[in-house]
Amino acid sequence: MKERMMDSMLFPILALLTIAAYAGGLGVLFMVIESTGAGIWGVIVLGTAIVVGVPSAAALLQKMVEKE
């Protein structure tokens, strides 16, 4: 019973920390790119690549998994 209670508190906290670390890392990456010579257009290109690339990669991986 006590273990279940710990799990029910631990997993949401770990999820929040993981999302915060991921979002913070992306924010720092965008700030670093913006401060380089690429400027705002580098941030736009990277953001667009993420928006298009992540779903595309997921679709390709799903096709590979379904093929097996």
Largest CA distance in the chain: 56
Pick 7 or 46 by higher pLDDT.
46
Q: What is the 3-state secondary structure (H, E, C) of 31-45?
A: HHHHHCCCHHHHHHH
In terms of pTM, does the model score above 0.85?
A: no
Ordered by start, the domain boundaries in the chain are: 2-67
pLDDT digits (tens, 9 = 90+) for 5-38: 887 888 999 999 999 999 999 999 999 999 988 8
Q: Tokens 């290109």 correspond to what residue?
A: 45
> Roughly how many angstroms between the first and final C-alpha of the chain, as a whole number?
40
Q: Which helix (H) or strand (E) holds 58?
A: helix 39-67
